[in-house]
């Protein structure tokens, strides 16, 4: 059965196994999310479960979304997302909590990476700087020569250069859930996940078993 939930990244820490092994984990405040709509192939052209996450003030919600929340019988929420692959039995107005997962489950985590703005090749692609000798300067963190000879007389496509770095949607696959704390709505996942603290994450069953 495929499962999915929304959550917020709290940060990283470490826990210890029964053997005394230190395990680096990411703490995710996962759910609860409320089902506000169930889309079907007959009515909408595709099947999906639409969920809402994180309470906000009523004045911050537009009228169309507020109508969906009223129909589902839930309070106004900040985020609305669809899970097309969600196959668990659920009804409009029901809640999906973090205990839908259990320790040992393998999941894919999707988030938006930290944005670094316009960055040079040293920061963006881990390039080396130029030689620190006379005749190379005055700038030693330049890209260097990027052109070719008379053949092919152009820059090669896909050449690494400076540009926008970060702030992109990234999915990390096959991460292991180490612990689920249903009382605190917390999931501990082994390793790092994309995004800064407080960013929105999607946790769902892995597509590659």
Q: Calculate mean pLDDT across residues 58-69.
A: 87
Q: How far apart are CA 88 and CA 96, in angstroms?
A: 10
Does 131 lie in the same domain as 36?
no
∠ CA 77-111-199, rounded to 5°: 55
Does 47 lie in the same domain as 28?
yes
- The predicted structure's pLDDT at residue 6: 92
Domain that holds residue 132: 117-166
Percentage of the chain modeled with pLDDT above 90: 38
Instruction: Write the secondary structure of 153-197 as one string of H (helix), E (strand) and C (coil).
Output: CCCCCCCCCCEEEECCEEEEEEEEEEEEECCCCEEEEECCCCCCC
Does 178 lie in the same domain as 108?
yes
Does 14 lie in the same domain as 102?
yes
If one compares 179 and 145, the residue with the highest pLDDT of the two is 179
For residue 11, the domain's CATH number is 2.40.30.10
Is residue 1 predicted with pLDDT exceeding 60?
no
Looking at the 3D structure of the chain, how many domains does it have? 2
Does 184 lie in the same domain as 83?
yes
Q: How far apart are CA 3 and CA 12, in angstroms?
A: 23
């Amino acid at each position: 059965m495929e499962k999915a939930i929304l959550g917020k990244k709290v940060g990283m820490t470490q826990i210890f196994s029964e053997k005394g092994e230190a395990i680096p984990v990411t703490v995710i405040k996962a759910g609860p999310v409320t089902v506000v709509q169930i889309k079907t192939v007959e009515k909408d052209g595709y099947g999906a479960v639409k969920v809402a996450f994180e309470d906000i003030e009523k004045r911050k919600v537009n009228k169309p979304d507020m109508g969906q929340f009223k129909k589902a019988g839930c309070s106004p929420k900040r985020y609305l997302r669809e899970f097309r692959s969600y196959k668990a039995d659920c009804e409009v107005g029901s809640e999906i909590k973090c205990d839908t997962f259990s320790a040992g489950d393998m999941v894919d985590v999707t988030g938006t990476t930290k944005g670094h703005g316009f960055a040079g090749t040293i920061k963006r692609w881990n390039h080396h700087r130029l030689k620190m000798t006379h005749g190379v300067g005055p700038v030693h963190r330049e890209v260097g020569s990027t052109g070719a000879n008379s053949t092919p007389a152009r820059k090669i496509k896909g050449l690494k250069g400076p540009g926008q770095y970060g702030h992109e949607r990234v999915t990390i696959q096959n991460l292991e859930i180490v612990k689920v704390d249903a009382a605190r709505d917390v999931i501990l996942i082994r390793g790092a996940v994309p995004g800064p603290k407080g960013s929105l994450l999607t946790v769902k069953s892995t597509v590659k078993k």
